[in-house]
Protein backbone atom coordinates (compact mmCIF):
# COMPACT_ATOMS: atom_id res chain seq x y z
CA UNK A 1 0.00 0.00 0.00
CA UNK A 2 1.57 3.28 -1.14
CA UNK A 3 0.62 6.83 -0.30
CA UNK A 4 -0.86 8.77 -3.20
CA UNK A 5 -1.42 12.46 -3.79
CA UNK A 6 -5.14 13.01 -3.14
CA UNK A 7 -5.48 10.92 0.07
CA UNK A 8 -2.24 12.36 1.46
CA UNK A 9 -3.33 15.97 0.91
CA UNK A 10 -6.81 15.24 2.22
CA UNK A 11 -5.36 13.67 5.38
CA UNK A 12 -3.30 16.79 6.07
CA UNK A 13 -6.38 19.00 5.73
CA UNK A 14 -8.53 16.71 7.90
CA UNK A 15 -5.91 16.42 10.65
CA UNK A 16 -5.19 20.16 10.63
CA UNK A 17 -8.88 21.10 10.69
CA UNK A 18 -9.73 18.63 13.43
CA UNK A 19 -6.92 19.83 15.68
CA UNK A 20 -7.84 23.48 15.13
CA UNK A 21 -11.52 22.90 15.95
CA UNK A 22 -10.46 21.25 19.21
CA UNK A 23 -8.74 24.51 20.21
CA UNK A 24 -11.57 26.98 19.54
CA UNK A 25 -15.09 27.30 21.00
CA UNK A 26 -17.65 25.12 19.23
CA UNK A 27 -19.82 28.18 18.64
CA UNK A 28 -17.19 29.54 16.22
CA UNK A 29 -16.58 26.36 14.22
CA UNK A 30 -18.68 27.59 11.28
CA UNK A 31 -17.03 31.04 11.23
CA UNK A 32 -14.58 32.46 8.71
CA UNK A 33 -12.14 32.85 11.61
CA UNK A 34 -12.03 29.08 12.13
CA UNK A 35 -11.76 28.56 8.39
CA UNK A 36 -8.83 30.96 8.19
CA UNK A 37 -7.00 29.37 11.12
CA UNK A 38 -7.51 25.83 9.80
CA UNK A 39 -6.34 26.89 6.33
CA UNK A 40 -3.22 28.50 7.81
CA UNK A 41 -2.36 25.42 9.85
CA UNK A 42 -2.88 23.12 6.85
CA UNK A 43 -0.79 25.41 4.61
CA UNK A 44 2.16 25.39 7.02
CA UNK A 45 1.88 21.61 7.44
CA UNK A 46 1.92 21.16 3.67
CA UNK A 47 4.93 23.42 3.27
CA UNK A 48 6.86 21.51 5.92
CA UNK A 49 6.01 18.14 4.41
CA UNK A 50 6.87 19.42 0.93
CA UNK A 51 10.33 20.35 2.20
CA UNK A 52 10.62 16.90 3.75
CA UNK A 53 9.73 15.22 0.46
CA UNK A 54 12.31 17.34 -1.37
CA UNK A 55 15.12 15.79 0.67
CA UNK A 56 15.05 12.57 -1.43
CA UNK A 57 15.37 10.33 1.61
CA UNK A 58 14.96 6.65 0.79
CA UNK A 59 12.35 5.97 3.48
CA UNK A 60 10.17 8.74 2.02
CA UNK A 61 10.57 7.25 -1.46
CA UNK A 62 9.52 3.86 -0.07
CA UNK A 63 6.33 5.37 1.41
CA UNK A 64 5.20 6.77 -1.94
CA UNK A 65 6.48 4.01 -4.21
CA UNK A 66 9.19 5.91 -6.07
CA UNK A 67 10.83 9.30 -6.28
CA UNK A 68 8.74 10.20 -9.32
CA UNK A 69 5.62 9.85 -7.14
CA UNK A 70 7.30 11.82 -4.36
CA UNK A 71 7.90 14.71 -6.77
CA UNK A 72 4.28 14.64 -7.92
CA UNK A 73 3.05 14.92 -4.32
CA UNK A 74 5.72 17.56 -3.59
CA UNK A 75 4.38 19.72 -6.43
CA UNK A 76 0.74 19.52 -5.33
CA UNK A 77 1.65 20.18 -1.71
CA UNK A 78 3.09 23.52 -2.85
CA UNK A 79 0.09 24.38 -5.02
CA UNK A 80 -2.46 23.63 -2.31
CA UNK A 81 -0.36 25.31 0.37
CA UNK A 82 -0.54 28.52 -1.66
CA UNK A 83 -4.32 28.15 -2.13
CA UNK A 84 -4.91 27.57 1.58
CA UNK A 85 -2.53 30.37 2.56
CA UNK A 86 -4.60 32.69 0.34
CA UNK A 87 -7.73 31.76 2.32
CA UNK A 88 -5.81 32.36 5.54
CA UNK A 89 -4.71 35.79 4.31
CA UNK A 90 -8.18 36.92 3.18
CA UNK A 91 -10.00 36.13 6.44
CA UNK A 92 -8.98 37.13 9.94
CA UNK A 93 -7.93 34.13 12.04
CA UNK A 94 -9.49 35.42 15.23
CA UNK A 95 -12.89 35.82 16.85
CA UNK A 96 -14.38 37.25 20.07
CA UNK A 97 -14.03 34.77 22.91
CA UNK A 98 -10.84 33.18 21.61
CA UNK A 99 -7.96 33.14 24.07
CA UNK A 100 -4.97 34.08 21.97
CA UNK A 101 -1.25 34.48 22.57
CA UNK A 102 1.91 34.31 20.52
CA UNK A 103 4.55 31.66 21.11
CA UNK A 104 7.38 34.03 20.23
CA UNK A 105 6.22 37.64 20.75
CA UNK A 106 7.61 40.25 18.36
CA UNK A 107 6.99 44.00 18.15
CA UNK A 108 3.74 44.74 16.22
CA UNK A 109 5.62 46.12 13.20
CA UNK A 110 7.71 42.98 12.81
CA UNK A 111 4.73 40.69 13.40
CA UNK A 112 2.84 42.34 10.53
CA UNK A 113 5.93 42.37 8.30
CA UNK A 114 6.64 38.68 8.87
CA UNK A 115 2.98 37.89 8.13
CA UNK A 116 3.14 39.60 4.74
CA UNK A 117 6.58 38.20 3.94
CA UNK A 118 5.44 34.65 4.72
CA UNK A 119 2.74 34.84 2.05
CA UNK A 120 5.13 36.39 -0.47
CA UNK A 121 7.70 33.71 0.35
CA UNK A 122 5.21 30.90 -0.26
CA UNK A 123 4.07 32.49 -3.52
CA UNK A 124 7.67 32.77 -4.72
CA UNK A 125 8.40 29.15 -3.84
CA UNK A 126 5.42 27.83 -5.81
CA UNK A 127 5.72 30.16 -8.80
CA UNK A 128 9.44 29.49 -9.21
CA UNK A 129 8.91 25.74 -8.86
CA UNK A 130 6.20 25.61 -11.55
CA UNK A 131 7.63 28.10 -14.06
CA UNK A 132 8.97 26.06 -16.97
CA UNK A 133 10.29 29.09 -18.85
CA UNK A 134 13.12 29.70 -16.40
CA UNK A 135 16.40 28.09 -17.58
CA UNK A 136 17.14 25.06 -15.45
CA UNK A 137 20.39 26.40 -13.99
CA UNK A 138 18.65 29.58 -12.83
CA UNK A 139 15.56 27.71 -11.66
CA UNK A 140 17.62 25.30 -9.56
CA UNK A 141 19.40 28.03 -7.66
CA UNK A 142 16.22 29.99 -7.06
CA UNK A 143 14.51 26.83 -5.83
CA UNK A 144 17.26 26.41 -3.23
CA UNK A 145 15.74 29.44 -1.48
CA UNK A 146 12.70 27.34 -0.54
CA UNK A 147 14.28 26.27 2.76
CA UNK A 148 15.25 29.77 4.00
CA UNK A 149 11.89 31.15 2.86
CA UNK A 150 10.10 28.42 4.80
CA UNK A 151 11.76 29.74 7.96
CA UNK A 152 9.87 33.01 7.46
CA UNK A 153 6.59 31.10 7.40
CA UNK A 154 7.56 29.29 10.61
CA UNK A 155 8.40 32.63 12.23
CA UNK A 156 4.95 33.92 11.25
CA UNK A 157 3.33 30.98 13.02
CA UNK A 158 5.42 31.55 16.16
CA UNK A 159 4.81 35.31 16.32
CA UNK A 160 1.12 35.35 15.36
CA UNK A 161 -1.45 35.53 18.17
CA UNK A 162 -3.65 32.46 18.00
CA UNK A 163 -5.52 30.10 20.32
CA UNK A 164 -3.00 27.34 19.53
CA UNK A 165 -0.46 26.83 22.32
CA UNK A 166 2.79 25.09 21.53
CA UNK A 167 2.04 22.24 23.95
CA UNK A 168 -1.46 21.64 22.53
CA UNK A 169 -2.15 18.85 19.98
CA UNK A 170 -2.41 21.44 17.17
CA UNK A 171 0.79 23.11 18.35
CA UNK A 172 2.66 19.82 18.44
CA UNK A 173 1.34 19.00 14.94
CA UNK A 174 2.70 22.30 13.62
CA UNK A 175 5.98 21.83 15.48
CA UNK A 176 6.38 18.35 14.00
CA UNK A 177 5.68 19.51 10.44
CA UNK A 178 7.95 22.52 10.84
CA UNK A 179 10.77 20.41 12.30
CA UNK A 180 10.50 17.83 9.51
CA UNK A 181 10.49 20.58 6.89
CA UNK A 182 13.50 22.36 8.37
CA UNK A 183 15.40 19.06 8.65
CA UNK A 184 14.60 18.15 5.04
CA UNK A 185 15.54 21.60 3.73
CA UNK A 186 18.78 21.67 5.72
CA UNK A 187 19.75 18.21 4.45
CA UNK A 188 19.05 19.11 0.83
CA UNK A 189 20.70 22.54 0.97
CA UNK A 190 23.75 21.80 3.11
CA UNK A 191 24.43 18.08 3.50
CA UNK A 192 23.08 16.32 0.40
CA UNK A 193 26.21 16.79 -1.78
CA UNK A 194 28.37 15.16 0.90
CA UNK A 195 26.31 12.35 2.42
CA UNK A 196 23.83 11.27 -0.27
CA UNK A 197 24.32 8.08 -2.29
CA UNK A 198 26.56 9.02 -5.20
CA UNK A 199 29.74 7.96 -6.93
CA UNK A 200 32.18 9.30 -9.49
CA UNK A 201 32.06 7.96 -13.05
CA UNK A 202 34.00 8.59 -16.24
CA UNK A 203 32.44 8.85 -19.70
CA UNK A 204 33.90 6.00 -21.74
CA UNK A 205 31.72 6.12 -24.88
CA UNK A 206 29.49 8.67 -26.58
CA UNK A 207 27.13 7.51 -29.35
CA UNK A 208 25.39 10.43 -31.07
CA UNK A 209 21.92 10.18 -32.54
CA UNK A 210 19.34 12.57 -34.01
CA UNK A 211 19.17 15.35 -31.38
CA UNK A 212 20.21 12.77 -28.80
CA UNK A 213 23.14 10.89 -27.36
CA UNK A 214 23.87 7.61 -25.60
CA UNK A 215 26.45 7.84 -22.85
CA UNK A 216 28.29 4.97 -21.28
CA UNK A 217 30.04 5.68 -17.99
CA UNK A 218 32.43 3.49 -16.03
CA UNK A 219 32.83 3.87 -12.26
CA UNK A 220 35.94 5.51 -10.84
CA UNK A 221 36.21 3.34 -7.77
CA UNK A 222 33.37 1.20 -6.48
CA UNK A 223 30.35 2.78 -8.16
CA UNK A 224 26.68 2.09 -7.42
CA UNK A 225 24.44 -0.94 -7.96
CA UNK A 226 21.40 -0.28 -10.18
CA UNK A 227 18.28 -2.21 -11.09
CA UNK A 228 16.79 -2.07 -14.56
CA UNK A 229 14.10 0.61 -14.68
CA UNK A 230 15.64 2.92 -12.08
CA UNK A 231 16.91 6.44 -12.72
CA UNK A 232 19.74 8.63 -11.50
CA UNK A 233 20.71 12.28 -11.24
CA UNK A 234 23.64 12.84 -13.58
CA UNK A 235 26.05 15.71 -12.97
CA UNK A 236 28.85 16.13 -15.50
CA UNK A 237 31.85 17.87 -13.96
CA UNK A 238 32.17 20.39 -16.76
CA UNK A 239 31.36 24.11 -16.93
CA UNK A 240 27.67 24.59 -17.69
CA UNK A 241 26.85 20.91 -17.05
CA UNK A 242 27.25 20.69 -13.28
CA UNK A 243 23.56 20.85 -12.37
CA UNK A 244 22.30 17.32 -11.55
CA UNK A 245 19.48 16.24 -13.90
CA UNK A 246 17.30 13.11 -13.61
CA UNK A 247 17.70 10.55 -16.40
CA UNK A 248 16.41 6.99 -16.62
CA UNK A 249 19.11 4.36 -16.75
CA UNK A 250 19.32 2.39 -19.97
CA UNK A 251 21.30 -0.37 -18.24
CA UNK A 252 21.58 -2.18 -14.95
CA UNK A 253 24.35 -3.87 -13.04
CA UNK A 254 26.51 -4.14 -9.96
CA UNK A 255 28.69 -1.46 -8.36
CA UNK A 256 31.68 -2.13 -10.62
CA UNK A 257 29.77 -2.22 -13.92
CA UNK A 258 29.25 0.64 -16.38
CA UNK A 259 25.94 2.48 -16.73
CA UNK A 260 24.21 3.92 -19.79
CA UNK A 261 21.95 6.89 -20.37
CA UNK A 262 19.97 7.75 -23.50
CA UNK A 263 19.43 11.53 -23.49
CA UNK A 264 17.44 13.65 -25.95
CA UNK A 265 17.93 17.39 -26.45
CA UNK A 266 14.69 18.75 -25.01
CA UNK A 267 15.83 21.93 -23.25
CA UNK A 268 18.76 24.25 -22.67
CA UNK A 269 20.69 21.87 -20.43
CA UNK A 270 20.09 18.66 -22.38
CA UNK A 271 20.90 20.42 -25.67
CA UNK A 272 24.24 21.51 -24.26
CA UNK A 273 24.91 18.04 -22.88
CA UNK A 274 24.11 16.34 -26.19
CA UNK A 275 26.38 18.78 -28.04
CA UNK A 276 29.35 18.72 -25.67
CA UNK A 277 29.51 15.29 -24.01
CA UNK A 278 32.80 13.55 -24.81
CA UNK A 279 34.78 10.51 -23.65
CA UNK A 280 37.06 11.23 -20.73
CA UNK A 281 34.69 13.60 -18.95
CA UNK A 282 34.04 12.86 -15.31
CA UNK A 283 30.60 12.86 -13.70
CA UNK A 284 28.85 12.34 -10.41
CA UNK A 285 25.89 9.97 -10.42
CA UNK A 286 23.38 10.29 -7.57
CA UNK A 287 21.32 7.10 -7.39
CA UNK A 288 19.51 4.82 -7.47
CA UNK A 289 15.95 6.15 -7.46
CA UNK A 290 12.61 4.91 -8.72
CA UNK A 291 10.41 1.85 -8.33
CA UNK A 292 9.59 1.16 -12.00
CA UNK A 293 9.71 -2.62 -11.92
CA UNK A 294 8.42 -5.70 -13.65
CA UNK A 295 6.20 -7.85 -11.46
CA UNK A 296 6.27 -11.63 -11.63
CA UNK A 297 2.49 -12.00 -11.90
CA UNK A 298 2.37 -14.49 -14.75
CA UNK A 299 0.47 -11.94 -16.85
CA UNK A 300 1.21 -11.16 -20.46
CA UNK A 301 3.28 -7.97 -20.41
CA UNK A 302 2.76 -4.94 -22.63
CA UNK A 303 5.52 -2.34 -22.57
CA UNK A 304 4.70 1.06 -24.07
CA UNK A 305 7.49 3.58 -24.67
CA UNK A 306 7.19 7.11 -26.00
CA UNK A 307 10.34 8.78 -27.32
CA UNK A 308 13.18 8.78 -24.82
CA UNK A 309 10.83 6.92 -22.46
CA UNK A 310 12.30 3.86 -24.14
CA UNK A 311 15.27 3.98 -21.73
CA UNK A 312 13.95 1.72 -18.93
CA UNK A 313 12.79 -0.86 -21.49
CA UNK A 314 16.27 -0.92 -23.05
CA UNK A 315 17.58 -1.68 -19.57
CA UNK A 316 15.07 -4.51 -19.17
CA UNK A 317 16.01 -5.91 -22.58
CA UNK A 318 19.70 -5.86 -21.63
CA UNK A 319 19.15 -7.35 -18.18
CA UNK A 320 20.72 -10.80 -18.34
CA UNK A 321 18.73 -11.90 -15.29
CA UNK A 322 15.35 -11.02 -16.80
CA UNK A 323 12.93 -13.92 -17.27
CA UNK A 324 9.68 -14.35 -19.16
CA UNK A 325 10.54 -11.97 -21.98
CA UNK A 326 8.83 -14.28 -24.43
CA UNK A 327 5.52 -13.03 -23.01
CA UNK A 328 6.28 -9.38 -23.72
CA UNK A 329 5.13 -7.03 -26.49
CA UNK A 330 6.95 -3.69 -26.73
CA UNK A 331 5.17 -0.81 -28.47
CA UNK A 332 7.86 1.70 -29.40
CA UNK A 333 6.36 5.12 -30.29
CA UNK A 334 8.85 7.32 -32.11
CA UNK A 335 9.09 10.33 -34.41
CA UNK A 336 10.53 9.43 -37.84
CA UNK A 337 13.98 10.90 -38.23
CA UNK A 338 14.48 11.12 -34.45
CA UNK A 339 14.49 7.44 -33.53
CA UNK A 340 17.35 6.50 -31.21
CA UNK A 341 18.66 3.89 -30.80
CA UNK A 342 18.23 2.95 -34.43
CA UNK A 343 15.38 0.68 -35.43
CA UNK A 344 17.71 -2.05 -36.66
CA UNK A 345 19.65 -2.10 -33.40
CA UNK A 346 16.58 -2.11 -31.21
CA UNK A 347 14.79 -4.71 -33.32
CA UNK A 348 17.79 -7.03 -33.16
CA UNK A 349 18.00 -6.64 -29.37
CA UNK A 350 14.28 -7.38 -28.97
CA UNK A 351 14.46 -10.47 -31.20
CA UNK A 352 17.51 -11.72 -29.32
CA UNK A 353 15.55 -11.59 -26.05
CA UNK A 354 12.35 -13.03 -27.56
CA UNK A 355 10.35 -9.80 -27.17
CA UNK A 356 7.66 -8.95 -29.74
CA UNK A 357 8.73 -5.45 -30.81
CA UNK A 358 6.18 -3.18 -32.53
CA UNK A 359 7.54 0.17 -33.81
CA UNK A 360 4.83 2.85 -34.05
CA UNK A 361 5.72 5.88 -36.14
CA UNK A 362 2.32 7.54 -35.70
CA UNK A 363 0.45 8.59 -32.58
CA UNK A 364 -1.75 6.46 -30.32
CA UNK A 365 -4.41 6.30 -33.03
CA UNK A 366 -2.05 4.47 -35.41
CA UNK A 367 -3.48 1.11 -36.54
CA UNK A 368 -0.25 -0.72 -35.75
CA UNK A 369 -0.95 0.13 -32.10
CA UNK A 370 -4.74 0.02 -31.78
CA UNK A 371 -5.26 -3.09 -33.88
CA UNK A 372 -2.35 -4.98 -32.37
CA UNK A 373 -3.40 -3.99 -28.85
CA UNK A 374 -6.96 -5.13 -29.51
CA UNK A 375 -5.67 -8.42 -30.90
CA UNK A 376 -3.54 -9.00 -27.78
CA UNK A 377 -6.51 -8.39 -25.48
CA UNK A 378 -8.54 -10.83 -27.51
CA UNK A 379 -5.83 -13.47 -27.29
CA UNK A 380 -5.04 -13.39 -23.56
CA UNK A 381 -7.98 -11.53 -21.97
CA UNK A 382 -8.18 -8.11 -20.32
CA UNK A 383 -7.61 -9.51 -16.83
CA UNK A 384 -4.31 -11.18 -17.78
CA UNK A 385 -2.47 -8.19 -19.24
CA UNK A 386 -0.03 -6.02 -17.27
CA UNK A 387 1.06 -2.72 -18.80
CA UNK A 388 4.26 -0.79 -18.14
CA UNK A 389 4.43 2.72 -19.61
CA UNK A 390 7.06 5.45 -19.86
CA UNK A 391 6.46 8.46 -22.07
CA UNK A 392 4.72 11.84 -22.42
CA UNK A 393 1.52 12.63 -20.51
CA UNK A 394 -0.55 12.87 -23.71
CA UNK A 395 0.37 9.35 -24.73
CA UNK A 396 -0.35 8.10 -21.21
CA UNK A 397 -3.88 9.54 -21.39
CA UNK A 398 -4.43 7.77 -24.71
CA UNK A 399 -3.20 4.47 -23.27
CA UNK A 400 -5.58 4.80 -20.34
CA UNK A 401 -8.46 5.45 -22.73
CA UNK A 402 -7.51 2.37 -24.74
CA UNK A 403 -7.39 0.29 -21.56
CA UNK A 404 -10.84 1.50 -20.55
CA UNK A 405 -12.19 0.72 -24.02
CA UNK A 406 -11.05 -2.89 -23.68
CA UNK A 407 -12.03 -3.33 -20.04
CA UNK A 408 -8.47 -3.57 -18.66
CA UNK A 409 -8.48 -2.61 -14.95
CA UNK A 410 -6.57 0.59 -14.10
CA UNK A 411 -4.61 -1.42 -11.51
CA UNK A 412 -2.90 -3.25 -14.38
CA UNK A 413 -1.05 -0.08 -15.40
CA UNK A 414 2.29 0.93 -13.89
CA UNK A 415 3.99 4.02 -15.26
CA UNK A 416 7.00 6.21 -14.61
CA UNK A 417 6.41 9.95 -14.24
CA UNK A 418 8.01 11.47 -17.33
CA UNK A 419 8.57 15.07 -16.18
CA UNK A 420 9.92 16.51 -12.95
CA UNK A 421 9.35 20.22 -13.57
* Residue 283 sits in the same domain as residue 181: no
* Residue 52 sits in the same domain as residue 174: yes
pLDDT in the model for residue 255: 85
Contact 185, 219 (CB under 8 A): no
Partnered with residue 330 across adjacent β-strands are 303, 357
- The reply to whether 141 falls in a domain is yes
Helices (H) and strands (E) in the chain, counts: 14, 11
Domain count along the chain: 3
Using alpha carbons only, give the angle 114, 118, 120 rounded to the nearest 5 degrees.
115
| Distance in angstroms (rounded) separating the CA atoms of residues 110 and 106 | 6
- The reply to whether 24 falls in a domain is yes
Task: Give the global pTM.
Answer: 0.88
* Residue 358 sits in the same domain as residue 389: yes
- Out of 24-38, 239-253, 366-380, pick the least confident: 239-253
Look up residue 268 and give its DSSP letter.
H
- The reply to whether 227 falls in a domain is yes
* Residue 22 sits in the same domain as residue 74: yes
- The reply to whether 160 falls in a domain is yes
* Residue 9 sits in the same domain as residue 137: yes
- The reply to whether 421 falls in a domain is no
Q: Which of 177, 195, 213 is the last residue of a domain?
A: 195
- Per-residue pLDDT of 115-128, as tens digits, reads 888 888 888 777 77
Q: Which of 140, 171, 195 is the last residue of a domain?
A: 195
- Average pLDDT (233-250) is 91
Q: Which of 269, 289, 309 is the last residue of a domain?
A: 289
* Residue 10 sits in the same domain as residue 93: yes
Q: Could you tell me the CATH number of the domain that includes residue 226?
A: 2.40.30.10
* Residue 406 sits in the same domain as residue 391: yes
- The reply to whether 119 falls in a domain is yes
- The reply to whether 295 falls in a domain is no
* Residue 217 sits in the same domain as residue 260: yes
Name which of 267, 226, 196 is nearest 217 in CA terms: 226
| Distance in angstroms (rounded) separating the CA atoms of residues 245 and 215 | 14
* Residue 157 sits in the same domain as residue 223: no
Surface-to-core class of residue 166, CB atoms within 10 Å of its CB (0-12 exposed, 13-18 middle, 19+ buried): middle
Percent of the chain with pLDDT over 70: 96
- The reply to whether 294 falls in a domain is no
| Distance in angstroms (rounded) separating the CA atoms of residues 7 and 271 | 38
Structural domain that includes position 282: 198-289
pLDDT in the model for residue 378: 95
In the predicted model, is pLDDT for residue 166 greater than 80?
yes
* Residue 63 sits in the same domain as residue 13: yes
pLDDT in the model for residue 296: 62
User: What is the chain's Cα-based Rg?
Assistant: 25
Amino acid sequence: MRLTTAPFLAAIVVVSTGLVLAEVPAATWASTAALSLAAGVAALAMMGLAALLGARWRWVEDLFGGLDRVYEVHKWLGVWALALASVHLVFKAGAPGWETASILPLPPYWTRLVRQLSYVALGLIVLLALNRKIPYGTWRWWHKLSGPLFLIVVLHWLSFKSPIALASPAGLWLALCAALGIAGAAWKLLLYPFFSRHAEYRVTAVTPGPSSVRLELAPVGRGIAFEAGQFAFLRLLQPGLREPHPFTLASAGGPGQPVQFVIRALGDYTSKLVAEAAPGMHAEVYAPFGRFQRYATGDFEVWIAGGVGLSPFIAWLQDDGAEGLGRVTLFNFYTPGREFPGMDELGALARKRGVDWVPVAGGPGAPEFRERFEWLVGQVGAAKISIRFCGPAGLLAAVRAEMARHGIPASKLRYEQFEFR
